[in-house]
Amino acid sequence: MKNILLIIVIISIHFQANSQFSKNGNKEITIATVDSMYSRSLKEYREVWVHLPDKVEKGKKYPVLYILDASEQFYPITGIVRHLERWDMPKTIIVGIPNKDRTRDFTPTVVPPSRGEPYKNSGGYDNFMNFMECELAPYLKNKYPIDEMSTLVGYSLAGLFVLNTYVSHPRIFDKYLAIDPSISWDNQVLVDTSEKLLQKNIYQDKSLYVAVANSTSVDSVRVRRMNDRHTQHLRSNLNFHDILVKHKKHLDVTWEYYPNDDHRSLIIPSMYSGIKNLFSWYKFNARWLFNTPKGYTAKELTDPYYSHFKTLSTHFKREMKPDWQFVNDVAFFILETHDLPKKAKAFLEINLHFYPNDSRSYFAMGKFHEKESNKKEAIAYYKKAIKIDGNIAAQERLKKLDK
């Protein structure tokens, strides 16, 4: 309970301090634009809520996070994402999809109505998935600055939709968050299906986080021996967990059990933990090692840049580079403040690696050698800078060195 209250307080503070969330002319704080489109797959108009990051940069694109059950889940997840965007995840476009018939849209099979389960419609998963993949995604990419990386989040029946997509069509999204998914649906048909599908090696670069609550007040060991309807939900999730464990060698999966939460109280803490887990690769702690460079070798200071941005490139599905100016400033900070030329040079080599066609990279290395009284090397690098684009600063330095 303390953890839940803490998260709620964090979200509340964040909403107050970051009102985007944006202010309009009526002094109202808005967190999303309401958009809509007609779906041929569903034969109806569908509304979507689109939240953009603050200060969208011209020409820049942002990963997208789809949240199902938007009328209930959009507000907490927007606050959580906005909080995590500071350090733990990239700025993200959030797309909320309100429901029209969640049983129809989220369930993979048709289950006839029965006592206690008055389902009038079910089994519309394929149509809704087609709407998301073939209609909604292209529409949004054409209208908003959406990048290639995508995340899908769903709770309960929507969590069933998330798992069904991960198991059956992993290529569609990159990251999947299923919160207490209703995989007991239709006698746990998804669990049975996943046994065969998860054997395949088709889940490279896909991440899944599953959060499961203890809604039965029965411990996870004893519940496995039970066979009543009340415990079916948890038993199905435990069965799915066992299958994930079987194939863990080729799956990037985190399955987390919340023994002190129920089906409802689980939502916010698992959203926070799940999103942070799915983006655990994003935070670059080693970035700050330059503040105490004497405690590390040049390799320890710079190797993390190569590995981290390689990881970023894999997740973003495009080349990601460190900021040129930041790396350059660090190099000369280490040189001028700490007098550690070898370590400074190692940082300048980072820019040469990531920006081999940028004349600034060669000019900076020339400047470094000039400061170190290596005239021959300085001239060589200035000439390389000039050759790329006639770098004026390099020409001026070269004239002075030739005197």
Each residue of 311-340: pLDDT tens digit?
Answer: 999 999 999 999 999 999 999 999 999 999
**How confident is the model at residue 16, as a pLDDT?**
39
pLDDT tier, 231 (very low <50, low <70, confident <90, very high otherwise): confident
Please state whether 371 falls in left (phi above 0), alpha (psi between -120 and 50) or beta.
alpha
How far is Cα 60 from Cα 145, in angstroms, rounded to an integer?
A: 7
Q: Could you give all domains of the chain from N- to C-terminal order, each with its CATH number?
A: 2-278 (3.40.50.1820), 285-401 (1.25.40.10)
pLDDT of residue 24: 58
Average pLDDT over residues 347-364: 98
Q: What is the predicted pLDDT for the residue at 217?
A: 72
- Percent with pLDDT over 70 in the chain: 89
pLDDT confidence bin for 18, thresholds 50/70/90: very low
Tokens coding 283 = 């935070």
Angle between helices 2-17 and 70-84 (to 10 degrees): 80
How far apart are alpha carbons 144 and 2 in whole angstroms? 38
| Average pLDDT value for residue range 291-296 | 96
Angular region, 166: left φ>0, alpha ψ -120 to 50, beta rest? alpha
Q: CA 351 → CA 224, 338, 374, distances in Å?
A: 56, 20, 20
Helices and strands, number each (H, E), in the chain: 15, 10
Which pLDDT belongs to residue 7? 42
* The two structure tokens encoding residue 92: 């993200």
User: Which of the 8 DSSP states describes residue 114?
Assistant: B
Q: Which pLDDT does position 116 carry in this prediction?
A: 61
Token pair, residue 40, equals 């041929």
Q: Yes or no: say if 273 and 82 are a contact pair by the CB < 8 Å rule.
A: no
- Per-residue pLDDT at 201 exceeds 60: yes
Cβ-Cβ contacts under 8 Å for 167 (sequence gap 6 or more): 190, 193, 194, 197, 198
Distance of alpha carbon 109 from alpha carbon 186, whole angstroms: 7
Of 163, 220, 238, 229, the closest CA to residue 193 belongs to: 163
Predicted local distance difference test score (pLDDT) of residue 118: 61
pLDDT tens sequence across 212-221? 998 777 666 6
Tell me: pLDDT of 13 over 60. no
CA distance 304 to 80: 28
Q: How far apart are CA 378 and CA 144, in angstroms?
A: 46
Please give the structure tokens belonging to residue 401. 């060195």
Average pLDDT, the chain: 91
Q: What predicted TM-score, i.e. pTM, was given to this entire model?
A: 0.89
- CA–centroid distance for 387 within its chain: 40
Q: How far is CA 81 from CA 67, 87, 271, in A?
A: 12, 11, 9
- Residue 160's Cβ-count burial label (10 Å; 0-12, 13-18, 19+) is buried
What's the pLDDT score for residue 221?
Answer: 63
Residue carrying structure tokens 């968050």? 177
At 368 the pLDDT is 97
Higher pLDDT, 330 or 55: 330
Span of 102-116, 167-181, 209-223, 314-328 with lowest mean pLDDT: 209-223
- Rounded CA gap, 332 and 288, in Å? 15
According to DSSP, the residues that pair with 209 across neighbouring strands are 177, 254
What is the mean pLDDT of the segment spanning 66-77? 97
Examine the pLDDT at 27 and tell me if it is beyond 90: no
Q: How many CB atoms lie within 10 A of CB 30?
A: 14
What is the DSSP-derived secondary structure letter of residue 135? I
The band of 401, judged by pLDDT with boundaries at 50, 70 and 90, is confident
Please report which confidence band the pLDDT of residue 161 belongs to, taking 50, 70 and 90 as the band edges. Answer: very high
